[in-house]
Amino acid sequence: MRSYLRSKYALPSGLTCSGRLWFGLATLLCAHFLCRPVAAIAPESPEVRELIDSGLSFLETSNEGRVDSNMRKLGGKCLVGLAFVKAGKPDHPRVKEALEEILAFMQPNHQVDVYSNGIAIVFLCELSPERHRREISWYLDLLEKRQKEVGGWGYDGNSREGFVMDTGDTSQTQYASLGYWTAYQHGFQLNSESLARLTQWLLQTQDPGGAWGYQGAVASGSQRVRQSQTGCSMLAAGLGSLLICADLLDTVPESIREESEWEKEELLLENLPPALRAARLAGQKDRPPPIQIQSDAIDPEQIPEAVELAQNWMNSNYQVDVGNYQYYYLYATERYQSFYELWSGSLDGEPQWYQDGYDYISKSQKDGGGWEQGCGQQVDTAFAILFLLRSTQKSIQASLGEGTLVGGRGLPTNVARAKLRGNAVIVDQLHTKVGEMLSMVDDEDQSQLDDLARDPTALVVENVDAAHARRLQQLIRGGEPPVRRLAVRALGRTGNLDYVPTLIYALTDPDRDVVLEARDALQFVSRRFEGFGPPDTYTDQQRYDAAEDWKTWYRSLRPSATFED
């Protein structure tokens, strides 16, 4: 499955459901902003970025006021820290607070609950697995030791809220599963027997209808037994955990292998010269090998059956508003849907569940910028941010590698025109004028735009009229990352000082390539080729400082200038 998925997610666009999901070339939503009343929403959309930024701003100051009970737990602090890490702010004080808490809990007198245990592992791996190997190993060992005999994870002690504590808890097990998966992607070994017991427990606690309950009732034979307290949240938790096990064990339905067009697309590689095939391998990120288990209790064919049954249940019972623990549910949904994309190869750049979640989050934000529904305001705000960021999708993307070529992208659509330039793979791209580039954005077949995005030097900027300039400015605010980069380059190459505020705005873009393109454009326009930066390996503070320096320079030329937020 791993070689299959690597090729699947890294192959070129233009042929069925492309790897553009990972590279941001799939939907080019900006083309629809001008002609459709309702635009699809993605993590890069300005509306989403505004919500994320306001949520992070709330988390920056929320500890100064009321601190909810979950934030007194290790897991609460780790969730908040994880939100900042995923948003590209690994040096934020909230990240440092979470790390300090993790170290403090590595003491004999501290008890770590399962939620905190799993989330701490995820946080440390996302932050820096190299620097925190000792801490990750400590929490991973603790997680393995506290696994229930039945195979799941749950409350410690003799009883809690009327439950017998030898049962596994689907809600807690999902975070143990995520901790296992994340650690394994970063080179940490898992106990294969522990993974086998987890997989078996998930298969044996699925309701006949397809869902999972809160406390799993284990079937004694092949017949599923009724589960209690089922619902969308527990379905997302259980199915997400099962899909994690499927990935770790390298199971994929034969029907998907047989029906997939990706295997056919792999034949395109045979048309590449040896140097390009070598470049493909050099840029490919090797995932750790699948875990081998010695267990007759797990029939690999059971997993596809269980996944299909669960997905059918969700298709029939899905709702975005589940009441209490709403944001906990949305984050679980993003996680399960991301792993389902990985499992099925069904890639949708505009999934309805994400649109639904965005709509709910945007309408339910509190005055201070946060959210709250069951888990406390800081924790729920972190859940909402992780959902909006497509946090799990980012992690899966990182595990697969962002492309199979040294240049960091997938194979060009027309492999016959592929060649090496330095250590990057490009195509013999015909010179493309700005008007032609904008037409590509509107074209449903965006294969030419994909190739141009791989080699933006082929973009010819001359005689850009006012209408084209306005369109480019709109794309910088709302396009996909490669389109934003091309639009920034086009505006910058005009040399027109009128567009400097838009270029400064682009310095705040979440995509690093766009930021560096904006810097280069400002240096070109200003003729300050040793200008204000930011540097190639910038921090957030450095790029914000650079933006202020560029504003000061521009005001020296145009004192009445105004700038975009």
Distance between CA 178 and CA 119 in Å, rounded? 8
Residue 358 has pLDDT above 80, yes or no: yes
DSSP 193: H
DSSP 8-state secondary structure symbol assigned to residue 561: -
Residues in Cβ contact with 301 at an 8 Å cutoff, skipping those fewer than 6 apart: none
Per-residue confidence band for 66, with pLDDT thresholds at 50, 70 and 90: very low
**Residue 38 — very low, low, confident or very high, per pLDDT cuts 50/70/90?**
very low
pLDDT reading at 233 higher than 50: yes
- Tell me the backbone φ, ψ of residue 259, rounded to 5 degrees: -85, -15
Q: What is the pTM of this model?
A: 0.64
Tokens for 343? Answer: 């499992």
Nearest Cα to Cα of residue 33 among 536, 528, 477: 477
15-24, 130-139, 259-268, 393-402: which has the minimum mean pLDDT? 15-24
Spacing of C-alpha 384 from chain mean position? 13
Looking at the DSSP assignment, which residues form a beta bridge with residue 427? 418
Domain ranges of the chain: 2-400, 415-557
Domain 2-400 sits in CATH at: 1.50.10.20
Residue 215: helix, strand or coil by DSSP? strand
Spatial separation of the C-alpha atoms in residues 202 and 242, rounded to whole Å: 6
Q: How far is CA 292 from CA 249, 296, 520, in A?
A: 7, 12, 49
Q: What number is the average pLDDT over the span 135-158?
A: 88
pLDDT band at 187 (very low <50, low <70, confident <90, very high): confident
Residues 6+ apart with CB under 8 A from 35: none
Each residue's pLDDT tens digit, 419-475: 444 434 444 445 677 677 777 777 655 666 766 666 666 676 767 788 888 888 888
Give the three-class secondary structure for 420. strand
**3-state DSSP assignment of residue 426:** strand
Query: Do the Cβ atoms of 230 and 257 come closer than 8 Å?
Result: no
Return the pLDDT at 252: 63
Residue 269, pLDDT > 60, answer no
Q: Specify the higher pLDDT residue, 235 or 220.
A: 235
Q: What is the 3-state secondary structure (H, E, C) of 351-365?
A: CHHHHHHHHHHHHHC
Given pLDDT bands bounded at 50, 70 and 90, which one contains residue 123?
very high
CA distance 203 to 222: 10
In terms of pLDDT, which residue wins out, 321 or 264? 321
Structure confidence at residue 420 (pLDDT): 42
d(CA 445, CA 466): 26
